[in-house]
Amino acid sequence: PKTDIVFLKVHKSASSTVMNILFRFGETHNLTFAFPLGGGYQLYYPHHFLARFVQGFSPQSPRRFNILCHHMRFLQPEVQKVVPSSAIYFSILRNPVQLMESSFVYYKGASAFSRVRSLEEFLSQPYRYYNPARGDRHYARNLMTFDFGFNPDGEVSPERVQLMLKAIEASFDFLLISEYFDESMVLLKEMLCWDLDSVVSFPLNSRDSSTKSPLPDSVAEKLKAWNRLDWEIYTHFNRTFWERIDRDIGRERMRREVKALRERQAELARTCLQGTGSVAPKDIKDSSLRPLQHGGARILGYNLKQGLDRELERTCRRLVTPELQYSSLLYKKQFPPRPP
């Protein structure tokens, strides 16, 4: 199994669920993580990543970490200073229309969104609300482009788009697609030579459907145009995703693998969870399993069954531990506080 990994955690793209998979794998195999300084949760985002943002990194004696997966704005020469040269690089993408709808609810406080009631209102005159000079502008336009390290307000000429796609292909071994999450996990397992249980998961940081609203086609088209760079990235890598599956796995085997993955997840859900699945934040009984609530979104969580034996309780708890709590736990393990 591959143990040196860089995961570019793209916002609002099921990346918290992928991060949980990496946390569990790293913990099980006693791997080191490139944590943000002081145990924070982002690597000085939204600034471009620098090696010195990582706890325990020093230019004099550069130590290498196995897994880099916290939020960052990608800058490969700096990333290469903290991970081994053999590291596998991957990320995950989401349809920019749904991504922006999610971003609008989650980052309602962002300067571009704070004065509008709806996405329609924002899109009717985006430049009335969107200021390219504001430090939080990226939440409102081409968020994936920004996370990959490019300018979200860049021109959309075919030449520039090609350069951007080529740069991403040169840096990343593969990109997953959140709309095909199960297929993505099968591909991940394949590329990293992991077993099935390493890629099972329950959806984390997902929001209650009451805050989701279907978008009319006219709005979807405007969103694609407004997020044109993201749209170019998404459509290109959605295509190469399926080309890779056809080449490396085949549709028939993919169907079998997805079925096995879903059966294993259903089995774990029956074993671990009270009720049928995720619950509203107010209904989560164990406060240590309550995810951070953000913006206008209601982030769902889970209740574990009572009376599980110790080993099973540990497995189940890891599957449902929200990102911030899990990150803190692993940070304390890697950098134990000195006794007074």
Backbone angles phi, psi at 146, to 5 degrees: -65, -50
Contact 267, 200 (CB under 8 A): no
Both tokens of 227, joined, read 């997020």
Query: Residue range 265-283: average pLDDT?
Result: 93
With 80 as the cut, is the pLDDT of residue 45 above it? yes
Structure tokens at 251: 């549709």
Structure tokens at 214: 């279907």
Residue 229: pLDDT above 80? Answer: yes
Q: Is 25 exposed, middle or buried (0-12, 13-18, 19+ CB in 10 A)?
A: buried
Q: What is the mean pLDDT of residues 83-105?
A: 96
Q: From CA 118, how far away is CA 98, in angstroms rounded?
A: 14
User: Taking 90 as the threshold, does the pLDDT of residue 295 lie above it?
Assistant: no
Q: What is the pLDDT of residues 123-143, one digit of tens each?
A: 999 999 999 999 999 999 999
Q: What is the predicted pLDDT for the residue at 218?
A: 93
Average pLDDT over residues 29-37: 98
Residues 6+ apart with CB under 8 A from 336: none
Q: Which residue pairs from 268-271 have beta carbons closer than 8 angstroms and sit at least 24 positions apart in sequence? A: 268/200, 268/202, 268/316, 268/319, 269/202, 271/305, 271/308, 271/312, 271/316
Mean pLDDT of all residues in 264-287:
93
Domain locations in the chain? 5-324
Strand partners, 88: 5
Mean of the pLDDT values across residues 197-216? 87
pLDDT score for 122: 97
Q: Tell me the average pLDDT of the chain.
A: 95
Rounded Cα–Cα distance for residues 86 and 173 (Å): 11
Give dist(CA 61, CA 58) in Å, integer.
6
- Please give the average per-residue pLDDT across 256-277, as a whole number: 95
**CA-to-CA distance for 171 and 67, rounded, in angstroms?**
16
Burial class of residue 333 in the structure, from the number of CB atoms within 10 Å of its CB (0-12 exposed, 13-18 middle, 19+ buried) = exposed
From CA 163, how far away is CA 126, in angstroms rounded? 27
Which range (45-54, 58-67, 172-181) has the least confidence? 58-67
pLDDT band at residue 275 using 50, 70 and 90 as cut-offs? confident
The pLDDT value recorded for residue 61 is 79
* Residues 6 or more apart in contact with residue 105 via CB below 8 angstroms: 207, 211, 212, 295, 296, 297
Q: Do residues 237 and 145 make contact, with C-beta atoms less than 8 angstroms apart?
A: no
Residue 209, pLDDT score:
76
Q: What is the pLDDT of residue 121?
A: 96
Residues 5-324, CATH architecture: 3-Layer(aba) Sandwich (3.40)
**Amino acid (one-letter) located at 58:** S
